[in-house]
């Protein structure tokens, strides 16, 4: 949740961050987070934290006052300090607020503890699931237009955890709005987790929105495709090259690689993907193999098949770098290369 609130940190320059902290004005960051007018005038660092706590409380009203306060400290400190490390954020906040670093550090650490591990009187742990709906509603409150791209991703953190994440894709970044953390050493079926989080997200997204759900090839499943369609959204799921496809006007299946046999080829059409009663899927296939890529792009969707040029212009503007390239989503990717800034035009081109 802290990462979700601070996802726009990279848009502030070092000079802007220093100026924001020195004069207490959070105007530059304010614009990034809620897309409203700049705050005017100067205020102290304490007042800046207070003002940001008010914003957090407004959008996450179910949080207690201590929870909202520490969440505000965490998110503001990460953005202005340009670091998500506990020590760096603690030192930055302590310097600005005139407090002892160890005191700030302990306050930030206890935010992530379960209730029984916290010191003092009555304590409660934060149930992050209770924040998902409010967090997504906050993101959508400053959303322009009614087109939305949602990414479904699984990220492994070393040998310790697997994080299942649903994110809103915005300007080359993925803003997490729902997630589940699982132990990497324990076998666990992901289907129930994905379905639960998709329901939570669907409850917040207005029906008028045109929603595309993106997933890399490691997450494709027929039930996921069908559930996305049932929610009233449109899947755009990448698949591996080892399957087969039967074009609508053909009586025979053919290997996917035969549709795009070499770099520089592409194919778009409707038909049936895969064979077998439990695998067959009626869908639209987008296949393209560009120069410089090891494998072709193979994408399945429920949308009709327009002219290939329109589809690929749409995909190049709408898909995150992680889907278009050879890797999964992770924090190490340089998402700035993603041509997401023309999303409005790409959707309009597709609709035409």
Domain residues for the domain of 207 are: 131-351
Question: Is there a single domain that holds both residue 267 and residue 204?
Answer: yes
Question: Is there a single domain that holds both residue 246 and residue 200?
Answer: yes
> Residue-wise pLDDT tens for the chain (352 aa)?
655 555 443 434 444 444 444 444 444 344 334 332 333 332 467 788 888 899 999 999 999 888 899 999 998 888 888 888 999 999 988 888 888 999 999 889 888 776 565 665 556 677 888 899 999 999 999 898 899 999 999 988 888 999 999 999 987 788 999 999 999 888 888 999 999 999 999 999 999 999 999 999 889 999 999 999 999 999 999 999 999 999 998 999 999 999 999 999 999 999 999 999 999 999 999 999 989 889 998 999 999 866 655 566 665 555 544 343 333 333 333 333 332 223 333 333 433 3
Give the total number of structural domains in the chain: 2
Quote the pTM value.
0.76
Question: Is there a single domain that holds both residue 78 and residue 115?
Answer: yes
Q: Which residues pair with 247 in a beta bridge?
A: 271
Q: Which residues pair with 149 in a beta bridge?
A: 212
Cα–Cα distance measured from residue 176 to residue 199, given in angstroms and rounded to the nearest whole number: 15
Residue 347 has a pLDDT of 36
Which domain-ending residue is among 111, 126, 141?
126
Which domain-ending residue is among 80, 95, 126?
126
Question: Is there a single domain that holds both residue 89 and residue 206?
Answer: no
Residue 26 has a pLDDT of 42
Question: Is there a single domain that holds both residue 166 and residue 237?
Answer: yes
Question: Is there a single domain that holds both residue 19 and residue 97?
Answer: yes
Contacts of residue 299, defined as CB under 8 A and 6 or more positions apart, other chains included, come to 236, 237, 238, 239, 285, 286, 287, 315
Question: Is there a single domain that holds both residue 193 and residue 218?
Answer: yes
Cα–Cα distance measured from residue 192 to residue 274, given in angstroms and rounded to the nearest whole number: 24
Question: Is there a single domain that holds both residue 171 and residue 279?
Answer: yes
For residue 265, what is the domain's CATH number?
A: 3.90.350
Question: Is there a single domain that holds both residue 322 and residue 187?
Answer: yes
Question: Is there a single domain that holds both residue 141 and residue 113?
Answer: no
Which domain-ending residue is among 75, 96, 126?
126
């Amino acid at each position: 949740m802290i990462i979700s609130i601070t996802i726009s940190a990279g848009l502030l320059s070092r000079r802007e961050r220093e100026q924001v902290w020195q004069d207490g004005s959070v105007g530059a960051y304010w614009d990034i987070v809620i897309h409203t007018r700049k705050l005017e005038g100067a205020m102290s660092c304490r007042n800046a934290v207070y003002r940001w706590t008010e914003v957090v409380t407004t959008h996450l009203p179910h949080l207690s006052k201590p929870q909202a306060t520490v969440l505000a400290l965490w998110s503001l400190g990460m953005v202005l300090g340009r670091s998500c490390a506990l020590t760096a954020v603690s030192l930055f906040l302590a310097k600005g607020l005139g407090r002892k670093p160890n005191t700030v550090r302990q306050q930030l650490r206890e935010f992530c503890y379960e209730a029984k591990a916290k010191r003092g009187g009555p304590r409660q742990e934060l149930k992050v699931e209770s924040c998902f709906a409010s967090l997504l509603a906050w993101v959508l409150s400053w959303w322009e237009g009614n087109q939305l791209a949602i990414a479904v991703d699984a990220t492994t953190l070393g040998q310790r955890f697997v994080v299942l994440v649903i994110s809103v894709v915005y300007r080359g970044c993925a803003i997490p709005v729902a997630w589940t953390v699982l132990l990497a050493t324990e076998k666990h079926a992901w289907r129930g987790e994905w379905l639960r989080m998709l329901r939570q997200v669907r409850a917040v997204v207005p029906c008028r929105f045109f929603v595309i759900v993106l997933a890399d090839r490691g997450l494709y499943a027929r039930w996921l495709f069908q559930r996305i369609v049932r929610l009233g959204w449109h899947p755009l799921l990448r698949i591996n090259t080892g399957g087969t496809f039967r074009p609508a006007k053909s009586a025979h299946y053919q290997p996917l690689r035969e549709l795009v046999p070499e770099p520089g080829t592409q194919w778009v059409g409707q038909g049936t993907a895969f064979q077998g009663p439990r695998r067959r899927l009626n869908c639209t296939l987008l296949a393209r193999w560009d120069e410089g890529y090891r494998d072709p792009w193979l994408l399945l969707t429920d949308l009709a098949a327009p002219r290939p040029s329109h589809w690929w212009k749409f995909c190049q503007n709408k898909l995150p770098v992680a889907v278009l390239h050879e890797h999964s989503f992770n924090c190490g990717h340089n998402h700035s290369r993603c041509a997401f800034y023309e999303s409005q035009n790409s959707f309009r081109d597709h609709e035409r």
